[in-house]
Amino acid sequence: MTNAFPPNQQFRLAARPSGLPRREDWQFHEEAVAEPGEGGIVVKVLYLSLDPAMRGWMNEGKSYIRPVAIGEVMRAGGLGVVIASRSPRFAVGDYVTGGTGVQRYWSGQADDKTAGFIRIDPRLGNVTAWLNALGMPGMTAWFGLKEVGQAKAGDTVVVSGAAGAVGMTVGQLAKAMGCRVVGIAGGQDKCRFVVEQLGFDACIDYKAGPVHAALKEHCPQGVDVYFDNVGGDILDAVLARINMKARIVICGAISQYNATDKVKGPANYLSLLVNRARMEGMVVFDYAPRYAEAAQQMAQMLMEGKLKSVEYVVDGFETFPESLNLLFEGRNLGKLVLKVADA
Amino acid sequence: MTNAFPPNQQFRLAARPSGLPRREDWQFHEEAVAEPGEGGIVVKVLYLSLDPAMRGWMNEGKSYIRPVAIGEVMRAGGLGVVIASRSPRFAVGDYVTGGTGVQRYWSGQADDKTAGFIRIDPRLGNVTAWLNALGMPGMTAWFGLKEVGQAKAGDTVVVSGAAGAVGMTVGQLAKAMGCRVVGIAGGQDKCRFVVEQLGFDACIDYKAGPVHAALKEHCPQGVDVYFDNVGGDILDAVLARINMKARIVICGAISQYNATDKVKGPANYLSLLVNRARMEGMVVFDYAPRYAEAAQQMAQMLMEGKLKSVEYVVDGFETFPESLNLLFEGRNLGKLVLKVADA
């Protein structure tokens, strides 16, 4: 089958990885772009969002979302431009974000529920902000901090994965709310970045020394909210420093995603008892009906310079397997985005 | 110093135990009972409450209550009768409960804040109910289940330590609220007891086989509330079966109290994330202003036969060290109480 579109390229899941995904776990696939039917559109993907959660989607087993099937195009959020439309919902030239999957072109019904495309305004700063502060990571930060974490002015908020997509925004939002904000990140560059560029009060380099001692130094009043993106030993170290009625938001556990052994549970969890504290999981999708409300406020903050959306852009669709792994190697400073094409 | 009172006998903490407390960790001490001054009373202890939490109080380090000091009379709740009074608050012959410590006589000011004596009605069934369903364990069950666990009719409630003081009452209260109640306990006797005597829907004998499989069988609708008294592998097994928005009440972790290794953290804690669930610690003292309200309702339930307060009474003050350890050996069926004297 041939048509007016260039050939589509995709990364499909070839095998369920054990540990860090390897090239062989992916199948590079070329096929024709499906002609849009009545009500259909074709989106040319410009950027793909690379997120730690993608590692979880590659595993079998019950989770908050069904696993990607073997042979299926890898699930991913993307940003693109509509290049063909037989739907009144979108016009050619519209910028959209949604679940494009890891491919160069998405073709299907404009109202496809799984893709869930929305039109975006590409003039608001970097268009990639729509995959970051104005996208899923930003929504996660907003609702995680405010709804689950119940942060309030005067609280000490600690966030791990501080230089990553979610952590970066958590810290900035908490600062804007009047909290003391301490990040945890791997390496001096990341720590400098969140303190100097993003205005965190302090940042602990977990590679430089014991996190426990550094928490004591930087959180002299203890920890009221901990936004956890990493799990493992860092979660344990923070548990030892929480205050009465502290709230721990379990957003992710990147330290554990490629573990081939059993996940390490937080040995200090009885600190929850001693401190009448709470540890609660969150999945951003639950807040979908309220995304617009949050995005509007965050767009306002972006325009006023009160929030920065920093993306770490890697170029080249074909580098997808290696680029995804940058997340687990802790190499990205800011939200990891894969550039697929120019508009 | 001698006076009209028989000599007092006490168990004082001699050393901080490693693992299960041994005889040598206790100092048996005799001294005269202090004459009550103006505003003072002397309480003859009839029963002592033996609780898992006592093991924690023997350890050094920051917790929800200061540790018992070396050389100090061991902290314990007790029930006794006033045998001398120079206070208008209590008359000779009054029955009281409060923090008597592990001794035969308590002497001090009637309004002593640490002891916190309250007058009780000894005619309401077994007087020992005041150390059980109408005492701290009952209060823990009431507020833990209703306030922290947010249990509601139709929920599946799982409780570990089901045949112990707190678990026993948690299960009965949950049944009265219209929940499906599944206990977890060690041994067939305990399981039969909570099902046949207390009306639980089912009970899992964790010594008989894998808890995970049994949970699947007995909680076909998953678990909405888990009231955890034990920690360890059982907490992990329940985490794997929780429902969306489940509430896990961390009340205790008896499996870990005598651990000489590091506490085992719940490896399945990421189930909190997947299920947007919550794990929250509780300490009953926080609800002190509302004890009266709860005790009144539970006394009513006791009188109407809707709640049973079952105590496992061991006789003999001098057996305190061995009797306390029955808890950790899992030997008690119902609330463990040490009988010290007849009235």
Q: What is the pLDDT of residues A78-107, one digit of tens each?
A: 999 999 999 999 999 999 999 999 999 999
**Buried (b) or exposed (e) across B262-291, using 16+ Cβ within 10 A?**
ebbbbbbbbbbbbbbbbbbbbbbeebeeeb
Q: What ipTM does the predicted assembly reach?
A: 0.88
> Which residues does residue B228 pair with via DSSP β-bridges, in sequence order?
B250
Asked whether the CA dihedral B51, B53, B56, B57 is positive or negative, the reply is negative
Indicate the pLDDT class of residue B1, thresholds 50, 70 and 90.
Answer: very low
Global model pTM greater than 0.80: yes
Give the pLDDT confidence of A144-161 residue by residue, as tens digits: 999 999 999 999 999 999
pLDDT of residue A1: 46
Model confidence at B133: pLDDT above 70: yes
Distance CA(B147)–CA(B198), nearest Å, equals 22
pLDDT of residue A2: 55
Tokens of B50: 């033996």
What's the mean pLDDT in B93-111? Answer: 97
Give the pLDDT confidence of B214-235 residue by residue, as tens digits: 999 999 999 999 999 999 999 9
Q: Which of B100, B105, B113 is nearest to B35 (CA)?
A: B105
pLDDT of residue A316: 96
For residue A333, count other CB atoms closer than 10 A to its CB: 20
Distance CA(B249)–CA(B315), nearest Å, equals 33
Domains of chain A, CATH where assigned: 8-131+310-339 (3.90.180.10), 136-285 (3.40.50.720)
Q: In A, which residues are within 8 Å of B252 by CB distance? A: 273
Phi-psi region of A93 (alpha: psi -120 to 50; beta: other; left: phi over 0): left
Q: Which of A341, A311, A250, A343 is nearest to A49 (CA)?
A: A311
Model confidence at A124: pLDDT above 80: no
Tokens of A300: 């306002």
Residue B325's Cβ-count burial label (10 Å; 0-12, 13-18, 19+) is middle
CB contact under 8 A, A280 and B282: no
Model confidence at B2: pLDDT above 60: no
Model confidence at B18: pLDDT above 80: yes
Ranges assigned E (strand) in chain A: 8-13, 26-31, 40-49, 78-85, 95-98, 105-109, 118-119, 156-160, 180-185, 202-205, 223-228, 242-250, 278-281, 311-315, 335-339
Select the residue of A63, A251, A279 nearest B274 (Cβ to Cβ).
Answer: A63
Contact with chain B for residue A266, Cβ under 8 A: yes
Task: Scan for tokens 């580098």, then name that residue.
Answer: A319
CB contact under 8 A, B262 and A267: yes
Q: Mind giving me the DSSP string for B207-260?
A: TTS-HHHHHHHH-TT-EEEEEESS-HHHHHHHHTTEEEEEEEEE---GGGTT-S
Asked whether the CA dihedral B32, B35, B40, B46 is positive or negative, the reply is positive
> Which residues does residue A315 pair with via DSSP β-bridges, in sequence order?
A339
Chain A residue nearest residue B273, CA to CA: A281
Contact with chain B for residue A259, Cβ under 8 A: no
What's the mean pLDDT in B57-79? Answer: 94
The Cβ-side half-sphere exposure at B143, using a 13 Å CA radius, reads: 24
* Residue in A269, A271, A286, A287 to test binding to B, most B beta-carbons within 10 Å: A269
Q: What backbone torsions phi and psi does residue B2 show, to the nearest 5 degrees?
A: -125, 155
| Number of cross-chain residue pairs from A and B with Cβ atoms under 8 Å apart | 109
Distance CA(B201)–CA(A60), nearest Å, equals 33
Q: Give, in order, the Cα–Cα distances in Å from B235 to each of B1, B126, B140, B240, B245.
A: 53, 33, 19, 9, 17
What's the mean pLDDT in A172-187? Answer: 98
